Structure 1
């Protein structure tokens, strides 16, 4: 489909309310408050908000979907790029007692908040927060993996500075086992992905990872569009061959 004359609509208030209402109805049924990790997850959100962190973490539904994916695959070693307040990290580890997660965060304040939230969740022994620039940290992790000092990863979630989407993806692929899924968040960006007059660096980063992953013989990939309480967006999912 040509996008030359396509008009990119503003997402209407009614539609946003419907998406949010569906999440608000469905999530308490699929994950009732009686679950053991509820207090830790609620604390992570509240403490992150109180500390002034932006409200850009994965939605509960998205985070649980990733946690269930790790369960289906019996993942023991996972990688996350972009810790924020540790919300998605807590989901992954609390739903998978066998899982050890390395999560990378550039902002020292975010990393400090995440460590406290992870400690509250009782997951310090299974979630390693590494502070530093993502490209530098992943380069070091790659050296350690290739040298046999770390286990290869079997799940990766990338949700950090969008300009480096491809750099993170590329290095994660080199550190992963066959059949490992790699998820890159926020690539649709409300449909702006295909508004080619928009040259925002974050959108360019989304296009780069989609286009390069599609040509990469190491992986097979697909973009899935999503709606929900976090509005309209989508993820790139890839699986190593």
Structure 2
């Protein structure tokens, strides 16, 4: 390759960021419900780490396309992603949301109720690994999973999701681009390495078909083989 044609990762990152800004403006600016949730999260002092508008739209579409009726969310925060998931599952669907912080879960539930999904969502408070273990012991099964909690445990969450999965279930994980650390020098940082390991685990897992989608902060989508 001629030197002046050599690929610069920073150029690719700039294009990626511009495309994400465009998608987020396109899908987020006119959604009053989700915009109000983001304002409420800021007012209540929660960290500004909700999924991007484009990622939220993808979640709604994936739930709807898959026909999922039993959805499990790992990490509720203020309810932004919960509303996106609930929008896709229809009136017969149920959402079980695991959240470590009780105040976060309370705010999320308030937002789900305002959005019209209060009767369809259940919050389980406490460390997610303990809650997942209990769900396995209770023989609960789900057909859609969304992982968006502490990154150190992503591989552990994945293992539990597979145990809880109906055949053909969809598993989605957010932030798998690790703040644009994957594929660049920043991948040497701890979070980048964690996400690299997670993505490789998903890609090579014998029970999963998977794909990485570069929107938001990166979304990994996998289907549990039947």
**Fold conserved between structures, TM > 0.5:** yes
**C-alpha separation between the residues in 2 aligned to 1:88 and 1:166?**
20
Counterpart for residue 187 of structure 1: 176
- SS of equivalent to 1:193: coil
- In structure 1, the gaps of 5 or more residues are 1-5
Q: Say whether 1:113 aligns with 2:95.
A: no
| 2:154 aligned residue | 165
1:51 aligns with 2:44: yes
By relative contact order (CA 8 Å, sep 6+), the higher-ranking structure is 1
Residue aligned with 1:80, SS: strand
Q: Deviations over 1:177-215 (max 9, x none)?
A: 111111111111243123467544322321222222233
Q: CA deviation at 1:8?
A: 5.1
In structure 1, the residue matched to 2:63 is 70
Aligned to 1:160, the other structure's residue is in SS state coil
Is the contact made by 2:96 and 2:124 (CA closer than 8 Å) also made in structure 1? yes
Deviation digits for residues 24-57 of structure 1, max 9, x if unmatched?
A: 2x327xx955xxxx43x33322211110112211
1:133 deviates by 0.8
Q: Kindly indicate whether the alpha-carbon contact (under 8 Å) linking 2:143 and 2:170 is maintained by their aligned counterparts in 1.
A: yes
Q: Which is helix-richer, 1 or 2?
A: 2
Counterparts in 2 of 1:17 and 1:196: CA distance versus 1, 3 Å? closer
What RMSD, in angstroms, separates the aligned Cα atoms of the two structures?
2.6
Q: Is the 8 A contact 1:164 1:205 kept in 2?
A: no
Q: Pick closer, same or farther for the CA change 1:16–1:225 going to 2, 3 Å.
A: closer
Of 190, 200, 223, 1:201 maps to 190
Distance in 2 of aligned mates of 1:18 and 1:195: 18
Residue of 80, 89, 92 corresponding to 2:82: 89
TM-score by length of 1: 0.79
What is the Cα deviation at residue 23 of structure 1? Answer: 3.1
> In 2 relative to 1, CA 194–42 (structure 1 residues): closer, same or farther, beyond 3 Å?
closer
Q: Distance in 1 between matches of 2:186 and 2:115?
A: 44
Give the conservation status (yes or no) of the 8 Å contact 2:186–2:192. Answer: no
